[in-house]
Amino acid sequence: MRRALEFQVELLDEAAAPPFMPERYAEGVSRICKQRGAANLPPPRATPHVPRVLIIAGSDSGGGAGIQADIKACEAMGVYSMTAVSALTAQNTLGVQGVHAAPCEFLSLQIRSCLDDIGCDVIKTGMISSRMSVDSVMAAAGRPGLYTWVVDPVMISTSGHTLVDLDTVDAIRSNIFPLAHIITPNLPEASLLLGRKIGTKGQMEEACVDLAAMGPKYVLVKGGHSERSGLQDAWDVLYDSVSKTYHRFPAHMIESRNTHGTGCTLASAIAANLAKGMKTVEAVGVAKQYVWDALKCASRLSIGCGHGPLHHAFKNADWRIPPNRLLASDCANASDVFCDRKKIDLSVYAVTDEVRCTNRQCR
């Protein structure tokens, strides 16, 4: 432990050397590993492969979105998650009260600390607030072909406010998109990226093709905002740029104010499923089912005074209304006060590409 602390101090002292020194870092990690080996420590036992997701995103102090939602989604899907915090926010269900961006050097250090020791199968990105932060992510992990990237381009808030400037949008589009296995913009973000309004199903399909031209293999344009665009259901459209095929994922709208963190949760659930070995279409389908269930189970909850979070732990937590607090209108549907849907253990739903669910509720 003392050697590790000394090495950490040494790294922080040299952090000012722009932009980052991966070779120096690798040398230090190699030295520590050799020292551990020289101590005659017993070899590690053979263990199963643990699916790993590294999340690069902002922190939500209210716990509904951002890295907090990402961790909850990965845990629900049965995957180990790590984090590199790009920004700290002071926020709750009513809105964002403050933002503090992480220093770029420290953002890089968080990423390298995770990758050099634990490694990862999938990198999932959320809010990256500046061009300099994008450059830091690229310096620490932007080597093509090493990792599977799930990119959630968090650019516009639920209320419609732009969260990043156009320079950052251009940096994400030109640097991170070419690395991406899949990107997951919602309708406002797709509109911002392409410079035109996206609303109808036909426009969503055209947007998929144009966004795929920026580099990602798959594009998932999410229709959760489609109620404002005249669509009756929430259609998500997935486009495979290699086979030039579309996959459509319709779902009925759920009336609920508890929708905070849906985009973060969906992207992280997709990342978790990819880390477990699912093929992309299956990973998206299972993730969408999980988000829909979490939305439904959250629709009767009251967390905060504004837009509350999803119920990420609906498979485990039984938050029922005590009988002495049930209203007369609730009694007829008492079995649905929490969420009476038969639970599906999605964490073991698919371990390899070949596994298929035979339960009709999974389809």
pLDDT at 264 over 80: yes
φ/ψ of 256, rounded to 5, equals -165, 145
Closest C-alpha among 128, 66, 60 to residue 265: 66
pLDDT at 320 over 90: no
Q: Is 261 among the catalytic positions?
A: yes
CA distance 20 to 26: 12
Closest C-alpha among 141, 145, 163, 167 to residue 154: 163
Closest C-alpha among 151, 171, 161 to residue 263: 151
Which of the residues 104, 114, 208, 264 is marked catalytic?
A: 264
Residue pair 209/245 in contact (Cβ under 8 Å)? The answer is no
Residue pair 134/160 in contact (Cβ under 8 Å)? The answer is no
Which of the residues 125, 168, 259, 280 is marked catalytic?
A: 259
Q: Is 339 among the catalytic positions?
A: no
Q: Is 259 among the catalytic positions?
A: yes
Which of the residues 89, 93, 184, 262 is marked catalytic?
A: 262
End-to-end CA distance of the chain: 49
pLDDT at 145 over 70: yes
Closest C-alpha among 101, 87, 112 to residue 29: 112
With tokens 């999974």, the residue in question is 362
CA distance 240 to 140: 28
φ/ψ of 291, rounded to 5, equals -65, -40
Q: Is 33 among the catalytic positions?
A: no
pLDDT at 294 over 70: yes
Domain boundaries, the chain: 2-37, 52-298
Tokens encoding 321: 């209304």
Distance (Å) of CA 170 to CA 23, 130, 290: 29, 10, 32
- Percent of the residues in the chain that have a pLDDT greater than 70, as a whole number: 71
Residue with the bigger pLDDT between 103 and 31: it is 103
The reply to whether omega before 309 is within 30° of 0 (cis) is no
CA distance 321 to 161: 36
Confidence category of residue 42, pLDDT binned at 50, 70, 90: low
pLDDT at 217 over 90: yes
* Residues 4-36 pLDDT 10s: 444 443 444 434 434 445 555 556 666 666 665
CATH 3.20.20.120 for domain 52-298, yes or no, is: no
* Residues 162-177 pLDDT 10s: 788 999 999 999 999 9
pLDDT at 209 over 80: yes
pLDDT at 345 over 80: no
